Amino acid sequence: MGAVSAEEDTQVTASGTAKIIKGNKDAAREAALDEAKRAAVEQVGTEVVSKTVVENFELVKDQIVSQAKGYVYNVKVLEEGRREGSYFVKIQASVNPDKVKEDATIIYREMDKPRMMVLVTEAAGEKELKSSAAENVVTESLLEKGFQMIDQAIAKENIKKDELRLAAEGNTKAAAKIGLRSGAEVIIVGTATVGEPEEYMSLYFSESVVSLKAIKTDNANLYAAISKPAKSQAAIKTAAGPGAIRKASKEAAREIFWKIIKAWNDEKLRGINIEVVLSGVNYSSLQKIKKALKKLDGVNEITERSFDSPTATLDLTFKGDSKRLAEVISNTNFVGFRLEIIGLTPGKVELKVK
């Protein structure tokens, strides 16, 4: 296939297959369709999103993120059905680099609609501010993008001051704990700092820096991190600082949104990172289990994060969600051992070795 220009729509056909587990044809069909979409992107030799956003992010407000090399849309199923215990899907789809921004919200709708939470502390020098301007701006921006948001006021009633401080300082585990307890799948934490206004020609100027991190609450993995400065001016001294905070928060919210979209695109292409916790293992049995898991349908990569007998923690890159992985594991006849599912969350599977 030849090179594709930035404006050109390209029609491609691709196929995917997935095993049918316990007669669940719908789940297999969905997995096969995802595989076909990935194959369509691979045909044009690109990833849906590659690298990071452009330096001047506001320039791509109404257009595609320039680093995106390909995106699958207008999917039409040409052929589908059972094939020897698996489900087969063949699709026709359009691939166009210019469609990433336009279809970014579609990516979100195809996900499991994770609930979001935002916690941003504000400070002027060493003085902590009681304002929630930055937090409100980020929340409103994400609501406009279709995100489900946790009620901040209710959630804060159960957050200790020390927990909030640690989360705002960038402690991902503390942030994840807050988000998980509040019912959020993703939490955005950060700080908004503002300088003392300076007067020049009867106007007051102030600068703010807003730093944000997006964290998955089930495993404390970092989705995205950004820091955006902004300046503001006002005729009234007390208005300059809040204006700078709002401006920086708006720009930070736009950029963190696109970085989250990039992370989701990466998961679509390469698979989702799922934490697997094993209990009842020694070092020898762990090596056997790792080799067996690597052979499972949809598993791309396995990384051993920790081992302290009788417990081990693995990171699996899997083309599907944790529920699908649990189904595959529970319906596989392993040689020499059995794996029992004892815990399951959106990004984590807990197993007991027998």
Q: For residue 315, give Cα distances in angstroms to 5, 69, 290, 305.
A: 38, 28, 11, 7
Does 48 have pLDDT greater than 90? no
| Mean pLDDT within 36-52 | 54
- What DSSP designation does 281 have? -
222, HSE (Cβ side, Cα atoms, 13 Å): 11
Residue 135 has a pLDDT of 92
Residue for token pair 């316990």:
22
pTM (2 d.p.)? 0.58
- Rounded percentage of the chain residues whose pLDDT exceeds 90: 38
**Per-residue confidence (pLDDT) for residue 57, from 0 to 100:** 25
**Taking 60 as the threshold, does the pLDDT of residue 65 lie above it?**
no
Contact assessment for residue 48 and residue 268, using Cβ atoms and an 8 Å cutoff: yes
Are 33 and 15 in contact by the 8 Å Cβ rule? The answer is no
- The predicted pLDDT at position 254 comes to 87
Q: Which long-range contacts (CB under 8 A, 24 or more apart) does 139-146 make?
A: 141/250, 141/253, 141/254, 141/257, 142/116, 142/118, 142/188, 142/253, 142/257, 145/105, 145/108, 145/257, 146/105, 146/108, 146/109
Residue 60's pLDDT band (cuts 50, 70, 90): very low
The predicted pLDDT at position 125 comes to 83
The pLDDT, as a whole number, for residue 140 is 92
Percent of the chain with pLDDT over 70: 80
Is the model more confident about 136 or about 261? 136
The answer to whether 348 and 273 are in contact (CB under 8 A) is: no
- pLDDT computed for residue 71 by the predictor: 53
Residue 112, pLDDT score: 53
Query: Which of 141, 122, 125, 117 has the alpha carbon at shortest distance from 189?
Result: 117
292 or 130: which leads in pLDDT: 292
| 272-310 per-position pLDDT tens digit | 889 999 999 999 999 999 999 999 988 989 999 999 999
Please report the pLDDT score of residue 283 as a whole number. 93
Q: Which range, of 100-114, 164-178, 299-313, 326-340, averages the lowest pLDDT?
A: 100-114
Distance CA 107, CA 109 (A): 6
**3-class SS string, 326-342:** HHHHHCCCCCCCCEEEE
Domains with residue ranges and CATH for the chain? 10-102 (3.30.1660.40), 115-269 (3.40.50.10610), 272-353 (3.30.70)
Q: How does residue 113 score in pLDDT terms, banded at 50, 70 and 90?
A: low
* Cα–Cα dist 49/193, whole Å: 31
pLDDT of residue 239: 85
Section 3-27 average pLDDT: 77
Q: Are 121 and 127 in contact (CB under 8 A)?
A: no
pLDDT in tens, 95-110: 664 554 344 434 445 5
User: Can you spell out the DSSP letters for 207-272?
Assistant: EEEEEEEEEETTT--EEEEEEEEEEEEESSHHHHHHHHHHHHHHHHHHHHHHHHHHHHHHHHHH-E
Place of tokens 């691979």: 42
pLDDT of the residue at 88: 96
Rounded alpha-carbon distances, angstroms, from residue 301 to 31, 158, 225, 258: 18, 38, 24, 26
If one counts every other C-beta atom within 10 angstroms of the C-beta of residue 225, the result is 15
Q: What is the pLDDT of residue 210?
A: 94
More confident call, 106 vs 22: 22
Tens-digit pLDDT profile for residues 199-247: 888 888 999 999 999 998 877 888 889 999 999 988 888 888 889 999 9
- What pLDDT, on the 0 to 100 scale, is given for residue 14? 84
Average pLDDT across the chain, whole number: 80
